[in-house]
Amino acid sequence: MFRRKKNNQPRLVYASYGVDTEQVLNILRDIPISVHCWQGDDVTGFDQPQSLSGGIQATGNYPGKATSYEELMQDIDKAFSLIPGRKKLNLHASYAIFEDREFADRDQIKPVHFKKWVEYAKKRNLGIDFNPTLFSHSMADDNLTLSSPNPEVRQFWINHCKQCIRISEYFAEETGIPCVLNIWIPDGYKNTPADRLGPRARFKESLDEILSIPYDKTKVYVTLESKVFGIGLESYTVGSSEFCLSYAKEKGITPLLDNGHYHPTELVSDKISSLLLFHQNLALHLTHSVRWDSDHVVLLDEETMEIAREIVRSDALNRVFIATDYFDASINRIAAWVLGVRNVQKALLCALLEPSAKLKALQESGNFTKLMVMKEELKTAPFGDIFAEFLRREQVPLDYYKEIETYEREVLMTR
Ligand SMILES: C[C@H](O)[C@H](O)[C@@H](O)C(=O)CO
Ligand SMILES: [Mn+2]
């Protein structure tokens, strides 16, 4: 077990555990990470003057935020040039581009409003994921959308989600890469409700109607994201974990787990294996939640590492859709993207470098002492060198901070 001390080449260290770093680097390069566009402008979008609602909040006032699609694309380009490996672009419906076209409200948006994004993605060989935007809109002022008691409001949002499925199909057809369409609603109440069942029954009915439209299930993967509470919606959340998991199972859609959407001591890493036994696919929003759904930048913390380990150990890299979801407005937004996505990749790399068959065998044979020793030893194995090699092969600089400083000075500060 301690043979690795004899050699100092990182590749040989892992070889001594039976891990082939070449194979690992090839796998890592091909894991698509869906990068959320909304880090670039604090979830503002282009289609509404409304400020951010839905019980979420981007705090901070760091200068240089993107205020147009051109700026956002420029910033995503900068961030992507500093992130190795395969990426997808994750858009929200509120990022529709109208320009000289007539404005279309959310229930009327069409593929044409995303043509520029498709051109952008195709030029860069990127797939696109999508999200209906059921917040920051006058029809969602009371944070009730698909569960609203008002049938007109419900119908507006049902139509919005249907249009989003059609747009997702267009993304998949144009890019040749399937689109993950994630439905998340903010609906809930600040105080203890008198009726918990009614709103959930209406949400269920609305989802049934949305999913009744025909769409190609090999091109569009509909996911449903649950939540525990939102700001100002602390006492009741319509789309709770139990609701979303049950609904996804019944309808054969994919559950989405955002690791900021659980009680602070609940771990998404522990949920993955259970869900993989019952669902063909699973989707994740990775974030760093500090005390609550704070949407901080993903760090290389123990839970991020454990989530990655669970995916890899379950041999589920091709069944789990991995996306980032955070919005930190207190630091350079490009750095936030690069740092968070690289941390997801670092966590995946660590997981891939783990001799998981050996560790499982130790658990099976009840050798918990050796298991603990080996796991702890692996923590100080030289995975940073392997990551540096990954960056070198991908022609991405190890030290990206300098580039970000230059971009901040030359581009962000002139806005
Ligand atoms: C903007 C996103 O859709 C949003 O963050 C959602 O995914 C979420 O996590 C809400 O808390
Ligand atoms: Mn999320």
Distance CA 148, CA 142 (A): 9
Nearest protein Cα to ligand 1, atom 11: 56
Same domain, 331 and 385: no
Q: Is the CB of 129 under 6 A from ligand 1?
A: no
Active site residue 261: yes
Looking at residue 97, its pLDDT comes to: 98
Average confidence (pLDDT) over 272-285: 98
Same domain, 150 and 226: yes
Q: Tell me how far CA of residue 71 lies from CA of 65, 76, 322, 338, 399, in angstroms.
A: 8, 9, 25, 17, 24
**Residues at Cβ < 5 Å from ligand 2 ion:** 258, 285, 325
Parent domain of 18: 1-26+356-415
The ipTM, to two decimals, is 0.98
Same domain, 37 and 11: no
Listed in order, strand segments (DSSP E) in 178-315 are 179-183, 188-189, 220-225, 236-237, 254-258, 282-286
CA–centroid distance, 258 to ligand 2, in Å, is 5
How many beta carbons lie within 10 A of that of residue 400, not counting itself? 21
Same domain, 174 and 262: yes
Which residue, chain included where needed, has tokens 């019980």?
55
Average confidence (pLDDT) over 290-294: 93
Q: Is the CB of 43 under 6 A from ligand 1?
A: yes
Same domain, 377 and 233: no
Q: For the purposes of burial, counting CB atoms within 10 Å of the CB of 98, is it exposed (0-12), middle (13-18) or buried (19 or more)? A: middle
Among 337, 352, 367, identify where a domain stops: 352
CA–centroid distance, 357 to ligand 2, in Å, is 32
Distance CA 287, CA 338 (A): 13
pLDDT score of 161 more than 90: yes
CA–centroid distance, 283 to ligand 2, in Å, is 10
How many beta carbons lie within 10 A of that of residue 399, not counting itself? 9
Q: 192 CB contacts (<8 Å, ≥6 apart)?
A: 235, 236
- Determine which one of 36, 65, 204, 285 is catalytic: 285
Looking at residue 7, its pLDDT comes to: 55
Confidence band (pLDDT; 50, 70, 90) for 6?
A: low
Looking at residue 4, its pLDDT comes to: 46
- Whether pTM > 0.95 for this model: the answer is yes
Active site residue 285: yes
Same domain, 371 and 244: no
Same domain, 390 and 262: no
Task: Work out how many domains the chain is built from and give that number.
Answer: 2
pLDDT tens across 324-352, in order?
999 999 999 999 999 999 999 999 999 99
Same domain, 300 and 414: no
Among 298, 320, 352, identify where a domain stops: 352
Same domain, 6 and 22: yes
Same domain, 147 and 81: yes
Same domain, 44 and 113: yes
Q: Is the CB of 243 under 6 A from ligand 1?
A: no
Among 307, 337, 352, identify where a domain stops: 352
For the domain that residue 162 is a member of, what is the CATH number?
Answer: 3.20.20.150
Nearest protein Cα to ligand 1, atom 5: 325
Nearest protein Cα to ligand 1, atom 8: 184
Same domain, 244 and 146: yes
